[in-house]
Amino acid sequence: MLYLTIFICFISSVLLTPLVKKLAIKIGATDKPNYRKVHQKIMPRLGGLAIFISFIIGMLILSPEQKYTLPIIIGSLIIVITGVLDDMKELSAKVKLLGQIIAALVVVLWGGLHIDIINLPFGGSLSLGIFSIPFTIIWIIAITNAINLIDGLDGLAAGVSSIALISICGMAILQGNLGIAIMAAIVLASTLGFLLYNFHPAKIFMGDTGALFLGFIISVLSLLGFKSLTFISLIIPVIILGVPISDTFFAIIRRIVNKQPIGAPDKSHLHHCLLRIGFSHRQVVLIIYALAAMFGLAAFIFTMATMWGSFIFIAVMLIAIELFVESIGLIGKDYKPLIKFIRNRS
């Protein structure tokens, strides 16, 4: 029944996406070109609606019995409504943030999903106390927006999200958490069906409807999969989501270095930098897919490492990320402190 349901979700998404495309054009949910965007013509968005409906179909068929299921569905519905309104009317950042906070509160307060204690690597534990709920809400909102920020090229957010979902699903299976694995598989199948229309050259964009939904569901599933947190297990979802988290983190650093508002849009995200270097649209997407897959694989390797091995692994990863960031000019073309240090030492 599980495999049949996953297939139904995939086919549902394939069949629904053309209908959603027609709906997007009819209601004016379209994306117009501007100086920050790569596409050169008006494109229908709202494609995330096909992903969400396919996800709901899968959930109705399997009805996984978990206390988090209904709060996740309601929270997802709120986030999708926020995305649909934004795709139609371009909501202000404050209104979009309000929708995300309400969706997160549904899962946290109604569903009871929040991180209370983090076990420290060398003994003892850290109780988050009154910060437990804010910590969880910030995590959900941060990942939701990280996926949204990386949605800048055909098939990019859908592909990166799919790779993250594969990693979360695989990790959940290893830990015997089949409920999380099933939900991740349903979202994955729904996303892949949409990706057939979204890969370059895209026929439709997922819009904020899709990016916010995928970010929200991935943030929640990653927390559910590692709810009994140690300091080390807290790192695993961060590694799995390494591409969107890194891009968002360095966007903030870039704006601080350049003395710009943190929320100011720019054309210096990871995909923009790779395009400037000379890679084609399709090549950039495939490169970022490869990076996302490497992060996913790294998460699996990380779980098998010893305590000290984990710290060494993290250190090597951080150095590799910094070198990559400096080489492509993600913060700025003149920002190369580590590369300059290595050159001066050699």
Binding residues: 148, 208
Kind and range of the H or E element at 45? none
Q: Which amino acid is at 275?
A: L
State the Cα–Cα distance between residues 163 and 219, nearest whole angstrom.
14
Neighbour-count burial for 180-207, b at 16+ CB within 10 Å, e otherwise: bbbbbbbbbbbbbbbbebbbbebebbbb
The pair of three-digit structure tokens given for residue 88, joined into one six-digit string: 């139609």
Residues whose CB is less than 8 angstroms from the CB of residue 85 and which lie 6 or more positions away in sequence, other chains included: 91
Which class for 13: exposed (0-12), middle (13-18), buried (19 or more C-beta within 10 A)? buried
| Residue-by-residue DSSP string for 247-274 | HHHHHHHHHHHTT--TT---S-SHHHHH
Tokens of 123: 């003994």
3-class SS of residue 117: strand
Amino acid at 201: P
Q: How far is CA 147 from CA 120, 143, 203, 246, 342, in A?
A: 29, 6, 20, 11, 33
| Binding site listing for Mg(2+) | 148, 208
Instruction: Please give the Cα distance from 1 to 121 (Å, whole number).
Output: 41
